[in-house]
Structure 1
Amino acid sequence: MVQFVYHMDEVFEALKNQVVDYYLLDGQMSILDDYLDAYPEKKSELKKWVKAKRLFIGPWYTQTDELIVTGESIIRNLSLGMKLADDLGGSQRIGYLPDSFGQGADMPKIYNGMDIYNALFWRGLPKEETSNREFNWQSEDGSEVTTINIKDGYFVGVGLIDDDNTENVMKTVIADASLDDIALPVGGDQRYVDYNLKDRIALYNDELKNKNVKLFESNYPKLFEAVNKSKAKLDNVSGEFITSSVSKIHRSIYSSRYDQKYLNDKVERRMIYQLEPLMAMADRIGIPYKKSLLDKIWKLVVRNHAHDSAGGCNSDKTNQIILERLREVDQLSYSTVDYLVRKISESEENKQANDLTFFNTLPFAVKKNIHFKVSLKEKNFRIINGDKPVDCDVVRITRKYCGQIKRDESQYEDKDYYHVFDCVANIEIPALQWTKLSIESLDDEHDLVTETTKKKIENDAFQIEFSNGTLNLMNKKTHEKIVNFLEVVDDGDEGDTYDYSPAYNDMTLELDFKDAQVTCNKGKQFQSMQLTGAWNLPVDLKERATKELNGKVAYKLTLTLDRNDNLIKNHLLIDNKVKDHRMRVIFNSNMKTQKYSYADTAFGYIQRPVVDRHLSNWKDAGLHEEPTSIYPMLHWTNLHDDQQSFTVMSKGIKEYQMIGTGFNKVALTLFRSVGFLGRPDLIRRPGVASGNQFTYIPTPNSQLQEELHFKFAVSWDEIFEPAQIMKQFQIYAITNPYYQVQGINQFTNTLKYFVMHPLNKQLQSKPFLEIKNDQLIFSSLTESKDNAGWLLRVYNPNKFKIQGDSIIKLDSESTISLTNFTGVLIEDLGLQRDVSVGKFAPGEVKTIRIEKGF
């Protein structure tokens, strides 16, 4: 920020005096947002140069990671960046990501949905895909962007400034170019304006006058004009690009700074699947949609999505800023949900004391176990839905005081105490609606869930038994027993915040649960098993080398089986007290040998080999790091064959690998504990250190010496259905907001203590819209820019076409249209109630506008 403020003086002066003809401001608008916040008087000068097409800005708010943040987050990033850039004179309509650690397969879809048809990147392109720098990058739905791969980085043109050996510089620049017009980007991290650019161009042109090469100042829009004249001749390439052919790709950065990744995943889920739909539900009943509030929160979110921010490969101070932003987002988003849920509940028709209201913010009906708390003076109660009782398990009862606090607690009176009941009930809620239940107080004491001495839990799908320190699973559908279906493995990590790398003197530990204390609970709605204990581990790399185990890591693993559910839900709590290690949870699928793994992407899923083709010869093949088959995931990974499908899904874990003799075991990387930003000469990544080649930068906070939470679930199904997996994930991972009308507990959430007016009318839940096609995935529901419609985004995750007839049912007839991702009209589809939008190509994303007022 400090350097940029002074840098902009240089930029304006250089443009004014024709020191440079054009200047590109890094493709991201967050830096300008900060700059104009400090210097609003500079806005007119900024706009002058942008409108003159000499200063190029946008389209990003921050240069996003493409592999471990959601597709909707990437769209919000572009939307915020393009809006700000357009307000300043015009956004560069180029997918400019010169430094992201790999390219996501769905990026052409996202770019086209934002009316972007040209893209540029550096890292990740495999030589086997194309040997040319210029190509057409395609997605399976037909989306396509003309793409330039700057193989040697956005700083390759610095050689023009610093190196008088014109032949060597131009050899590097021209290599693998298939066209006559080539990019020579003169840039770099925090680089000043090159005042001698014109002189250096003149010197090079003089040296190259007989080489059939000429340099001249230009810009990317002009370059793409030239490249697109040859578009029909370019190679067609599809898929993701995550190999280290042209540069380091850091294909194990997905597990660095798990604390940040967990919190980011949490706020993404809340924003996309909870807050935005809830705000739409509230708007329909008279609580205005607060678009500016959402934008404020989203700006904080996507500031953490730049490739290095999302990766966590930063100094401790920078990571602390990222964490603070995420915590602010967590509080803002949670408080907004809290406000809306309370406002609606307190305004409901025929409201009674202790009414419980549960909300479903997904556009399809849910019936699931919901965990909630009830505060009552009485010791017992029952829940009524209309005139029918609702089965409810009470896990815990806590006696609380609600009077004025006093130094001497013996003065507290019994009348000022109440009870908090931790409950679980199976509740059904229609799509984008809420359900109100009543509470009836009872005189006797409430029973708690039963604690059983048997070390076994089960439901209709599974039975889990603890025996001799292992967890054994019986799949009741297949009658298949899997011994040791879940285990934890710990090994040394002598890498850095960019990459995992084994310790030079390593020791891998298969951690069992032999010393665990085992507790099993049996309720009407669920059964759970809790294992509590501690593992002995090396304190650091020095101890690992000498095979000592003087460190202790306490753990608590809770496995839950809900009634009528085929998910095994896991919550693992680890108190990490040791350093320089990687911890993974391993699932045994018991399937036959696998060749491929599968994982979800921004708007679909991808197939990946379990063994990289260059694993045995990667150095000879010129790769910059070992191509271990460590891969990114957004929400789930899968193995399947003709007989069954095995899925692991998580809330915040972003890295997996298939291991075992048949590659039929799924290893989720829980976290990595490392102490340096960059290290040289790693086993998996030889050569110079990443981040900074000239000094070690300690990052003690990245050792994650703290309590860490991990939430993940597994399921076995008969066939692989990506749409059903993603829908199952949404039901599992999206909590259902709820509210109890009561006044004795003023601290149930952030805002409860503060007073609030109900609406001046009584509310009743009514239908909104419902997605009726099980092969389509809900992506987002937001308000249109003109405030007159709703934008519902859905996508087809499959590799085959889907019919788009009667895919959405509305409460009543409304005007329907198709738009791009920002709401710009593509096609008017007229009045509809059972909404049909035409066929969905494989992987296609559609944004459907629904006029308000229906």
Structure 2
Amino acid sequence: MRRRPAASHPGSRGVLAPRANNQPNAPCPVRAHKNKNGPRKGPKIRRILMKIYCVISHTHWDREWYLPFEQFRLKLVDLIDRCLLTMKKYPEFIFHLDAQTVVLEDYLAVRPGKRQQLEQHIQEGRLVIGPWYLQNDLYLTSGEATVRNLLEGSRICREFGGEPCPVGYLPDQFGNISQLPQILSGFGIHSVVFGRGYTFFNPDKTRKPTKSEFIWKGPDGTEALAIHMKYWYNNAQRFSDNIDTAMRLLDRTAELFQDVALTPYLLLMNGVDHLEAQDGLLPILEQLNARLPEGDRVEQIRLDEYIRRVKEHVEESGTQLPVYQGELRNGSDWDILKGTLSSRAYLKAANVAAQDMLESTLEPLYSMLYYHGGRNAYSLDHFRFQWKRLMQNHPHDSICGCSRDEVHAHMEDNYARIQEASGDLLERGLNILAQHMPAPEDALYQVTVVNTTEITRSGPARVTMDLLDSDKVGNFTLTDQNGVPVGFTVLNAAPARRDVFSPINLPGVLDVQRYQLEVYVKDLPPFSARTYYLKPQNGPCPLPEEIGSIPGLLENEFLSVSVDQAGHVDLTDKRTGTRYPNLLELEDSADWGDSYVYYPGEEAPITTGGLSGHVGGWRQEAFRQSCEITWDLSLPAGFDFEAKRRSPETVSCPASLRLTLERGRPYLEIGYEIQNQAKDHRVRLLVHTGVETAESLADIPFDLVAHSKEDQCPFTMSPVLPNSTFAMLRGEKETAAVFTAGAHEYEHLEGGTLAFTLLRATGVISRGSDGRFTNGDTWLCPDNQCLRTMKGRFAAAFFAPGEDHRAFALAKTFRVPVLAWATACDSRKFSGGRPAVQDSDLAELFYLPDQNPDLRVPDSQPMVQVEGAGLCVTALKGAEDGEGLILRVVNLSDKAVEGKIACKGELTPCALSENPSGAPQRDQIVRTFGPKEIFTVRIS
């Protein structure tokens, strides 16, 4: 959140007010590529005379922000304790818990004995919860994460005997994704109440007038009633006990809404961040009603009741609301807080890795086990636990990187814990799958490869294989089920000791020969597995080659990359002959802003284009070629805030790019590493595609959006844009795309260049608009300078005309590798451990029975096939009720697509809530997928 000290007035947030929402001189770029001039206007509406003041008592609960989670939890316990007392005192009192349910878990962890009271008030409709699990950022988390957020929030609401409040309440998200109307509709929610993203400016920088009620239309055509909290979610933060003063608040509210509201129902938000319920509110409202003119009234109600009344009035009066289509990301730098796309970039990378592991690896892997007979292998509880742990890193103040250092340190620990559990689940799943694939009777060892994505895969896969010394295998080759040799290379081989752990034996250790292998996988179908078998041979195993001299060239069947001795990179697409000269460059510039907003300096950026780098590390392997370009960058040590310029002192910041081409993969992988020792600056990767076009395209959750450079407000300090996993430029002859793995901020520069932020180093949560830091020490965050080694990956890919619909799936294959697992064909070899009684006739090892006796995984047979240009799989998971599997696809095209989903079994269309929405079909669904349609099907 962007908070600045500000004078209290209607629409401000007092000492925690966001500057932009209430300051008329703040600049604002128009962000949506549709409706760039604001909403489509309806007919002129007569002035509303009667006024119904609808008071929504609430708190906006950031679990962590300027205090760590545990300190805020203590305040949450105080808040709910006192709220329960208020509810006991006033049996009609209503309170909203910020549309979240995680707060119930947080509270009950300390006060478990209060559950019955909470359940009672929730069932009475007085304590309003849901539909969310928590208030996540919508651009920095995946579309699936938002769906799981709603699934979990709805589940918890029902656990407490209530129903989720059917309003998409989004008080402080830093922009709202275009597909929210469709996502919410999938849960039976057809309204949105939001705070940011709906501010438009005229050419003279004055604000365009907007109404507080409008129709928000999603890219698929789904419509939602939208309520803009134009005067923020604290416009009635607390009513004065002095009734004259309280009346002036109502009068001021009526004045502000006079030409804004299209119905008599005026939304008064009674609360703000972390504020407790106003204990004496209802008697104050009673006194105000005695003073109001005839026909007017003020009352405390539920948010969904407010929505019901607005809808009813619109329908009965025939009022035509304005219509807006597109993302709600319109506003100034301080409205949308675009700098949070890149603050603490290491958190974003960790989040994408965790999401990909759950969404695109573990869930599809275990779904394959479930489908082929291993129902016992799929534990919904494990996955629900992992998702909740991950979502607890998704609140906007957390994943946006705009909180105290302690908060983000705890997030890193949480990501580490998620990774530990996910890694173990991955090994378990692969081992179960490998042991249930067909194998020749004489086979000793096997390598199993698994494709958990929706497209056929080719390319190298790395795996560690242990061979027992007692088996005396020697040299070997790998063959497929038909005995055909498979290409592989040995990257490393050495003796090792393998620890063995068993749940029913003591830990043991085995002497093994440990091989690091790279196996070439060719044409592995979607959602399928294949096993290769070890076969002893007399000849030596193939080894990789390290090149001593500098060849200057990387090459595979798709691309050719030349790198000169200074580090300049030229790429040629061998399929089209198109050349992309001087493809890559690093750029460093001043950033004297904060965790929310990038403030550029006046000095020209420093780039590597004019520097001579060192090129080395050339490797020529069977399936991979790579090299590394390094620079010892001398960068200003920081920023002189008095002189408003970068420091004359410099520090060394070694930086490198690792370029890799792999056989079978039509993209250049670009790994980067920066040893950051400088402060107050931004580092970007520039990809000079040379594709001249007025628009850039980027994926955001469940959508592919176009952004024109002309839509950018010329006075924004930072014309950056969001992307989830790729951005691209579509020209007349080719499309150039850049795949990302956690970098969510890009800019479309002149000359067909895409600039991706790798690092943004600042040391405070928030500054004034003049760059001065006037807050107390609470708002310092020195670790946000990111004085650490920053690493990450990109890939550059190129498409012929009409082929870039493959970008989403190809970007997924860049982030999600083909899985590989090596083990003994006899599962007992590595599962025994050590007997309890040693060196006697009683020594015995025990083995668990097969937990999945009906599991049979066929070799190279796809479980599911999805056909149709632009159709992309976002989920293959267990159903929430434990009955069957859920497959979700989205049509990212803005045109209808004829497509097919093929999977043996009963296929039932359902909503995002997983409730059925259509008649079941057998083995396949052939249908027209509407533009930008999200389609979900249950497999049973």
Shorter-chain TM-score above 0.5: yes
CA distance in 2, matches of 1:546, 1:126: 33
CA distance in 1, matches of 2:414, 2:895: 40
Q: Can you list the C-alpha shifts for 1:130-169, whole angstroms capped at 9, x where unaligned?
A: 7111111111222121111101211121264486543445
CA distance in 2, matches of 1:435, 1:743: 14
CA distance in 2, matches of 1:281, 1:745: 20
- Aligned partner of 1:120: which letter? V
Does structure 1 residue 370 correspond to structure 2 residue 461? yes
Does structure 1 residue 306 correspond to structure 2 residue 395? yes
Does structure 1 residue 122 correspond to structure 2 residue 212? no
8 Å CA contact retained: 2:884, 2:939? yes
Partner of 1:566: 666
CA distance in 2, matches of 1:140, 1:844: 8
Change (3 A) 1:243 1:479: same
Deviation at 1:105, TM superposition (A): 0.4
- Aligned partner of 1:490: which letter? D
With 544-553 and 556-565 compared, the bigger mean Cα shift is at 544-553
The 3-state SS of whatever aligns with 1:325 is helix
CA distance in 2, matches of 1:534, 1:339: 43
Deviation at 1:423, TM superposition (A): 2.2
8 Å CA contact retained: 1:679, 1:696? no
With 49-58 and 514-523 compared, the bigger mean Cα shift is at 514-523
CA distance in 2, matches of 1:758, 1:397: 35
Does structure 1 residue 250 correspond to structure 2 residue 337? yes
8 Å CA contact retained: 1:243, 1:627? no
Partner of 2:130: 58
- Aligned partner of 1:294: which letter? F
- Aligned partner of 1:180: which letter? P
Deviation at 1:84, TM superposition (A): 0.3
Q: Can you list the C-alpha shifts for 1:269-295, whole angstroms capped at 9, x where unaligned?
A: 111111111111122332332111111
Change (3 A) 1:76 1:161: farther
Does structure 1 residue 586 correspond to structure 2 residue 692? no
Give the counterpart of 1:600 among 678, 683, 699. Answer: 699
8 Å CA contact retained: 1:274, 1:361? yes
Change (3 A) 1:759 1:364: farther
With 276-285 and 535-544 compared, the bigger mean Cα shift is at 535-544
Change (3 A) 1:502 1:758: farther
Change (3 A) 1:156 1:245: farther
Change (3 A) 1:682 1:276: farther
Does structure 1 residue 557 correspond to structure 2 residue 657? yes
CA distance in 2, matches of 1:110, 1:280: 23
Does structure 1 residue 716 correspond to structure 2 residue 716? no
Partner of 2:141: 69
Partner of 1:297: 386
8 Å CA contact retained: 1:173, 1:184? no
CA distance in 2, matches of 1:341, 1:14: 54
Superposition pairs for residues 331-480 of structure 1, below 5 Å?
331-350=420-439, 352-376=443-467, 380-385=475-480, 386-394=482-490, 396-397=491-492, 399-402=494-497, 418-442=513-537, 444=540, 446-451=542-547, 452-467=549-564, 468-480=566-578
CA-atom RMSD, angstroms?
Answer: 3.1
Structure 1 gaps, min length 5: 405-414, 617-625
CA distance in 2, matches of 1:36, 1:747: 46
- Aligned partner of 1:135: which letter? F
8 Å CA contact retained: 2:458, 2:665? no
- Aligned partner of 1:667: which letter? A
With 774-783 and 269-278 compared, the bigger mean Cα shift is at 774-783
Does structure 1 residue 668 correspond to structure 2 residue 756? yes
Superposition pairs for residues 93-172 of structure 1, below 5 Å?
93-127=166-200, 131-158=210-237, 160-161=239-240, 165-166=248-249, 167-172=251-256
Does structure 1 residue 528 correspond to structure 2 residue 626? yes
CA distance in 1, matches of 2:825, 2:274: 55
Partner of 2:118: 46
With 260-269 and 519-528 compared, the bigger mean Cα shift is at 519-528
Partner of 2:60: none
Change (3 A) 1:501 1:208: farther
CA distance in 1, matches of 2:639, 2:453: 47
8 Å CA contact retained: 1:20, 1:195? no
CA distance in 1, matches of 2:884, 2:745: 38
The 3-state SS of whatever aligns with 2:579 is strand
Change (3 A) 1:784 1:746: closer
Change (3 A) 1:204 1:706: same
CA distance in 2, matches of 1:73, 1:716: 29
Deviation at 1:103, TM superposition (A): 0.7
Change (3 A) 1:445 1:532: farther
The 3-state SS of whatever aligns with 2:300 is coil
CA distance in 1, matches of 2:197, 2:150: 21
8 Å CA contact retained: 2:438, 2:857? no
The 3-state SS of whatever aligns with 1:182 is strand
- Aligned partner of 2:765: which letter? L
The 3-state SS of whatever aligns with 1:75 is helix
Change (3 A) 1:320 1:575: same
8 Å CA contact retained: 1:355, 1:439? yes
Deviation at 1:473, TM superposition (A): 2.1
Does structure 1 residue 277 correspond to structure 2 residue 373? no
Change (3 A) 1:755 1:773: farther
8 Å CA contact retained: 1:99, 1:153? no
Deviation at 1:20, TM superposition (A): 6.2
Change (3 A) 1:252 1:507: same
Q: Can you list the C-alpha shifts for 1:186-241, whole angstroms capped at 9, x where unaligned?
A: 1111102212323543565566538x753221221111111112156211211101
Superposition pairs for residues 643-682 of structure 1, below 5 Å?
643-660=733-750, 662=751, 664-682=752-770
Deviation at 1:784, TM superposition (A): 2.3
8 Å CA contact retained: 2:686, 2:755? yes
Partner of 2:882: 787
Partner of 1:11: 83
Deviation at 1:574, TM superposition (A): 2.0
With 51-60 and 694-703 compared, the bigger mean Cα shift is at 694-703
CA distance in 1, matches of 2:424, 2:333: 45
CA distance in 2, matches of 1:285, 1:609: 50
CA distance in 1, matches of 2:584, 2:144: 32
- Aligned partner of 1:457: which letter? L
Structure 2 gaps, min length 5: 1-72, 202-207, 500-509, 835-844
8 Å CA contact retained: 1:456, 1:529? no
8 Å CA contact retained: 1:803, 1:839? yes
CA distance in 2, matches of 1:711, 1:746: 39
CA distance in 1, matches of 2:226, 2:145: 22
Deviation at 1:61, TM superposition (A): 0.7
The 3-state SS of whatever aligns with 2:265 is coil
Partner of 1:620: none
Change (3 A) 1:516 1:682: farther
Partner of 2:272: 188
